[in-house]
């Protein structure tokens, strides 16, 4: 609900809080090999491996941008990008899932 007319948006997705979105990407520090990032994604229990945008189930996909093609800006060419599509699971459950996968694969 990224519409200002929706009660949830008015309560939680204020413009000063960054608005509303369920799709985000992070670039994992280049000290972690792509295989470690793959292991992190595989260790997730609630986030499933898959491509989508806006569905009810949270999804994750790792991308080794440098291996895909050249010409990326320097900040994108280093490390592995992980794309998350956040579904309808409880935020606390997703946070716990991320924490356990980080502890298992990236610590």
All domains in the chain, ordered by first residue: 21-105 (3.90.1150.10)
Average pLDDT of span 74-88 = 86
pLDDT above 60 for 103: yes
> 10: which strand partners?
none
Residue 48: which H helix or E strand, with range? strand 48-49
52: Cα separation from own chain's centroid: 12
pLDDT above 60 for 1: no
How high does pLDDT run on average in the chain? Answer: 85
Please count the other Cβ atoms lying within 10 Å of the Cβ belonging to residue 20.
16
Helix (H, G, I), strand (E, B) or coil at 88: coil
Q: What is the pLDDT of residue 16?
A: 64
Read off the pLDDT of residues 44-62 as tens digits, 9 standing for 90 and up: 999 999 988 778 899 999 9
Q: Structure tokens of 56?
A: 């009810």
Average pLDDT of span 71-79 = 76
Task: Determine contact, residues 28/83, Cβ cutoff 8 Å.
Answer: no
Q: What is the pLDDT of residue 17?
A: 59
- Strand order in 80-85's β-sheet? 23-28, 80-85, 59-63, 48-49
Nearest to 34 by CA among 73, 4, 62: 62
């Amino acid at each position: 609900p990224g519409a200002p007319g929706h009660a949830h948006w008015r309560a939680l997705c204020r413009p000063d809080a960054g608005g509303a979105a369920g799709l985000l990407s992070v670039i994992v520090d280049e000290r972690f090999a792509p295989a470690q990032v793959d292991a992190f994604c595989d260790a997730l229990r609630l986030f499933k491996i898959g491509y989508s945008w806006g569905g009810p189930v949270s999804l994750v996909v790792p991308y080794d941008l440098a291996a895909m093609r050249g010409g990326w800006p320097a900040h994108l060419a280093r490390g592995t990008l992980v794309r998350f599509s956040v579904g309808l699971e409880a935020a606390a459950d997703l946070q716990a899932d991320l924490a356990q996968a980080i502890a298992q694969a990236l610590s």
